Structure 1
Amino acid sequence: MLMLSKLPKGLTRHWHISLSLPLILLGALLTPLALRSYVEASTYTRRYTNINQVPSKPVAIVFGAGVWEDGTPMPMLADRIQGAIDLYHLGRVGKILMTGDNATPEYNEVIAMQYYAHEQGIPLEDIKLDYAGFSTYESCYRAREIFGIQQAVLITQQYHLSRAVYTCNQLGINAVGYGTPDWGKYQDESMRFYTQREMLAIIKALVELHILRPKPTFLGPFEGM
């Protein structure tokens, strides 16, 4: 049997590196998968795909997902808004918080979201706009601190739902989630991209929630719902 102690010093070092590299690569691969599994398991009982099973909450929170140049919602965002509209008409929520990106005057997700919902019968007085929801973390943080939300249904695609529910719960909101369709509705290439990016986003979320706890880009005065 080959004994490492009998190998020349340089060769021994090379042997250890050769053994360690696959383990490092394996760990780098498994860690995101393990963290995603942890977040999914932690939120399993709080996520729904059947709208008739979603428990009633005072507010629905809709996360921004992009608008076209003409100011209309992109398909994923339209699906999210439609989910909130359907919950409202079923009497499962009484208010809707639209949270998204309005970083520049030329780009305004939340106005597009408001217009889409109002066109389908949601009264303007039941829609609140968060113009500084630049990320899931910031949207959840501001929902609690600026709008005073303590309970909510979160509406987003299924691939993103576990992180959204986990984030809001960690930031003090008793949240459940309604997941709109993604795989099977959108192109597989797009869904692979979103799913892979989501694993990195989960790592970032766990660091923000459990280590850094950064303030949002903007806070401002309390507005309430």
Structure 2
Amino acid sequence: MTRGMADKRKLKSKRMILIFLASIVGGGFVWAFITAWLITTYSEQASTRISDAAIILGAAVVGNEPSPVFRERIEHAILLYHQGAVSQLLFTGGAGSVEQRSEAEVGRDYAIAHGVNPADIQLETQSRITEENFKYSIGVGEQAGFHTYTIVSDPLHMKRAMMLASGLGMDVVPSPTLTTAYQTWRSKLPFLLRETILYMGYVCKGWIDNPQQP
């Protein structure tokens, strides 16, 4: 084999590698775009089913007050409660530190102040992330006799939330907030990017954990 032929083969190999890498990167961008589009379109899905309880996903609190994002979720759950779409509210979310009150406790107090019967409220105060919101709520719900749930969260959060809850075997339907603190694309875009990355990550995790599933 001449030196020229060897150089040509090396160049061809490098090109094939670059094409392969470019295909992976390009495919990743296409997948991300499709995922973001699916998340955005799913944000408009809202079920009218009557469930045993609304499960309100926690968000930040400031002292004894819910953040604007959390307040939107609480008020939407209160609306469902007063409309009779749910008979109980299950607030989720732990505390950031020992000195702070849990998100669930702050949500409960806000709901009681706005006409919800304290006897119709359940709390889950251990979780830190969305997956834990559902994981720790299962036991609370079982003890309270809940079988069906309506998930309350921000519209762009709903697709991933539904995926996580369904993956844990929960009977859930979506009910995104009618309004959201993420009102401009300057605030929506980072949230959408985050949800897209996390959703794709959970999909990949599912493929790894269950390689036989399509």
Instruction: Give the TM-score normalised by structure 1.
Output: 0.78
Aligned twin of 1:205: 202
2:209 aligned with 1:196: no
Question: Structure 2 matches for 1:1-225, cutoff 5 A?
Answer: 8-35=8-35, 47-48=45-46, 54-68=48-62, 70-107=63-100, 108-148=102-142, 149-181=146-178, 186-207=183-204, 211-212=208-209
- Aligned CA distance change for structure 1 residues 95 and 189 (closer, same or farther; 3 Å): same
* C-alpha displacement of 1:101: 2.5
Shifted more, 16-25 versus 59-68: the winner is 16-25
Secondary structure at the counterpart of residue 91 of structure 2: strand
- Aligned CA distance change for structure 1 residues 138 and 184 (closer, same or farther; 3 Å): closer
- 8 Å contact 2:72–2:180 — kept in the other structure? no
- Aligned CA distance change for structure 1 residues 185 and 135 (closer, same or farther; 3 Å): closer
Give per-residue Cα distances to partners, 1:63-122, cap 9 Å, x unaligned: 011112x33111111010001100000111111110012242233211111111111011
Find the aligned partners of 1:36 and 1:209 in 2 and give their Cα distance. Answer: 19
Q: Which runs of 5+ in 2 are unaligned?
A: none
Give per-residue Cα distances to partners, 1:155-195, cap 9 Å, x unaligned: 01110111111221221111111111467952321210000
- 8 Å contact 1:67–1:74 — kept in the other structure? yes
Q: Which runs of 5+ in 1 are unaligned?
A: 214-225
Instruction: Give the TM-score normalised by structure 2.
Output: 0.81
Find the aligned partners of 2:181 and 2:87 in 1 and give their Cα distance. Answer: 31
- 8 Å contact 1:103–1:132 — kept in the other structure? no
Q: Report sequence identity in percent.
A: 23
- 8 Å contact 1:61–1:96 — kept in the other structure? yes
Find the aligned partners of 1:116 and 1:160 in 2 and give their Cα distance. Answer: 22
